[in-house]
């Protein structure tokens, strides 16, 4: 009699636990990147009244099955469902969602342990640090300049650092080393006719200079049609000159089609004379208007950070007032062998456990199983309300049924007591 009552009590406790998890899921239906929980039950040890017996071939007696009475149920597991939630578009430049596996890596300070989150609702603090709403720094890598290629690169093997978007508030000027010209020189020009095209170049301090390339048509010879090229700055001749020779098909046939040009500055200018190379190899000479202009110049003046953008590859790119762009950092992600084994810490954070797998190092988005980023979006909760309401009804019925076991057992005990009467 008492066994049934205690079985009912275990059922009440287990169903109450299940209801607690369901209530938490529904409460977090709008929590960014929330991962829902699921409760599964298991039966408790059964009391064996009689063991099983094997058939007897000599006597012909058949075998018997064991006789057992179960002692109720318990909670088998409370699982974290790590499926990805739907994406919500926000157009906030610091909002990020992960399209696939992976977690953002955050920590409260350099002495703090690493924590992990799927919630990408980040903000910028007063100092320009990229942080969570709770003030934890988002981690990644700073760009490293490759001296060979002159390009910025990110080394995922290097130590993770706090990402700051204001460390590079000012971009240093770059002196012009190369200019490329393109376009056409009019084949109808007579000897002595000229055409000029401006080239804006910069010195090491970012000062701009407008240099004019002056093209002078020379008399055609048996070897081709020559044009002399000279340069001026502020009405004064600059050092450097070149002769371009075009063939009968209007294409360059001269062996040298580029020249080094130097602007002679006053002695008190306080900066070295700018020297740069001008490439004319893309010019043509057809019976069409002159259209020579600067295709590209590699120098620029100093600039201040105007805005920034975050790419799907996690690279944070600064956009400066001089039109230049420069990487400010790259967001790192973490992957785990068993994400469901992570321990919830609160505030949308997770910690590794012995069953989740260790955190070894950060990985670049889109590499080693990590997903790409979706800028301007947030991952929503993966709670399915229709399923939760259905589970709530089933749980309620299970709780009611177990309560009936207790009340019925109580009535049977009452009848037993009343036998004496």
Q: Is 392 left (phi over 0), alpha (psi -120 to 50) or beta?
A: alpha
Of the candidates 183, 380, 394, the one whose C-alpha atom is nearest the C-alpha of residue 296 is 183
User: What angle, 0 to 180 degrees and rounded to 10, lies between the N-to-C axes of helices 385-417 and 2-27?
Assistant: 160
Instruction: From residue 66, give the alpha-carbon distance in Å to each of 42, 69, 149.
Output: 20, 10, 78
pLDDT digits (tens, 9 = 90+) for 83-102: 999 999 999 999 999 999 99
CATH 2.60.98.20 domain span(s) along the chain: 178-297
Q: Does domain 178-297 have CATH number 3.40.630.30?
A: no
3-state secondary structure of 32: coil
The alpha carbon torsion through 212, 215, 216, 222 (nearest 10 deg) reads 160
Contact partners, residue 247, CB within 8 Å, separation at least 6: 224, 225, 253
Instruction: From residue 98, give the alpha-carbon distance in Å to each of 85, 312, 396.
Output: 10, 9, 36
Residue 242 CA to residue 260 CA, distance in Å, equals: 9
Of the candidates 382, 383, 379, 403, the one whose C-alpha atom is nearest the C-alpha of residue 391 is 383
Note if the pTM is more than 0.85: no
Strand partners for 116: 105, 350
Burial of residue 146, with CB atoms counted within 10 A of its CB: 0-12 exposed, 13-18 middle, 19 or more buried: exposed
Helix (H) or strand (E) holding 290: none
Residue 364 CA to residue 414 CA, distance in Å, equals: 69
3-state SS string over 126-167? CCCEEECCCCCEEEEECCEECCCCCCEECCCCCCCEECECCC
Count how many Cα atoms sit within 13 Å of the Cα of residue 322 in the half-sphere of its side chain: 20
| 421 residues of the chain, pLDDT tens digit each | 578 888 889 999 999 999 999 999 999 999 999 999 999 999 987 888 898 999 988 888 999 999 888 888 999 999 999 999 999 999 999 999 999 999 999 999 888 899 999 999 999 999 999 999 999 999 999 999 888 887 889 999 999 999 998 888 899 899 999 999 999 999 999 999 999 999 999 999 999 999 999 999 999 999 899 999 999 998 888 999 999 999 999 999 999 999 999 999 888 888 999 999 999 999 999 999 999 999 999 999 999 999 999 999 999 999 999 989 999 999 999 999 999 999 999 999 999 999 999 998 999 999 999 999 999 999 999 999 999 999 999 999 999 999 998 888 888 888 888 887 6
Contact partners, residue 139, CB within 8 Å, separation at least 6: 105, 106, 107, 114, 160, 161, 162, 163, 332, 362
Strands 178-184 and 275-284: parallel
CA 381 to chain centre: 19
Structure tokens at 129: 């640090």
Taking only Cα atoms into account, the Rg of the chain, rounded to an integer number of angstroms, comes to: 38
Structure tokens at 227: 């044009």
């Amino acid at each position: 009699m008492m066994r049934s009552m205690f079985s009912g009590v275990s059922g009440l406790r287990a169903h109450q636990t299940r209801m607690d998890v369901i209530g938490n899921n529904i409460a977090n239906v709008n929590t960014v990147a929330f991962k829902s929980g699921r409760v599964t039950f298991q039966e408790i040890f059964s009391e064996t009244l009689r063991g099983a017996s094997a058939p007897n071939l000599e006597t012909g007696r058949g075998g018997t099955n064991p006789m057992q009475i179960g002692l109720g149920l318990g909670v088998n597991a409370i699982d974290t469902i790590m499926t990805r939630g739907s994406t919500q578009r926000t157009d906030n430049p610091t909002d990020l969602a992960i399209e696939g596996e992976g977690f953002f890596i955050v920590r409260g300070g350099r002495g703090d342990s690493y924590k992990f989150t799927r919630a990408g609702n980040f903000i910028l603090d007063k100092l320009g640090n990229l942080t969570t709403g709770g003030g934890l720094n988002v981690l990644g890598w700073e760009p490293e300049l490759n001296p060979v290629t002159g390009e910025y690169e990110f080394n995922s093997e290097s130590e993770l650092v706090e990402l700051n978007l204001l460390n590079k508030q000012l971009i240093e000027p770059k002196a012009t080393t190369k200019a490329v010209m393109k376009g056409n020189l009019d084949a109808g020009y007579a000897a002595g006719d000229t055409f000029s095209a401006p080239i804006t170049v910069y010195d090491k301090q970012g000062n701009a200079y407008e240099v004019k390339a002056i093209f002078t048509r020379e008399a055609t010879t048996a070897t081709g049609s020559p044009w002399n090229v000279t340069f001026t700055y502020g009405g004064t001749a600059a050092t450097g000159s070149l002769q371009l020779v075009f063939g009968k098909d209007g294409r360059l046939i001269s062996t040298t089609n580029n020249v080094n040009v130097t602007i002679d500055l006053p002695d008190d200018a306080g900066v070295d004379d700018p020297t740069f190379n001008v490439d004319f190899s893309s010019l043509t000479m057809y019976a069409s208007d002159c259209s020579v202009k600067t295709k590209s110049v590699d120098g620029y003046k100093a600039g201040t950070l105007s805005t920034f953008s975050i790419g799907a590859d996690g690279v944070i790119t600064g956009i400066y007032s001089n039109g230049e762009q420069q990487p400010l950092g790259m967001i790192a992600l973490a992957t785990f062998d068993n994400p469901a084994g992570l321990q919830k810490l609160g505030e949308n954070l997770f910690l590794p456990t012995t069953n989740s797998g260790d955190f070894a190092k950060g990985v670049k988005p889109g590499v080693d199983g990590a997903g790409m980023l979706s800028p301007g979006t947030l991952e929503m909760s993966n709670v399915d309300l229709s399923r939760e309401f259905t589970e709530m009804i089933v749980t309620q019925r299970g709780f009611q049924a177990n309560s009936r076991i207790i009340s019925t057992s109580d009535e049977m005990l009452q009848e037993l007591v009343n036998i004496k009467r």
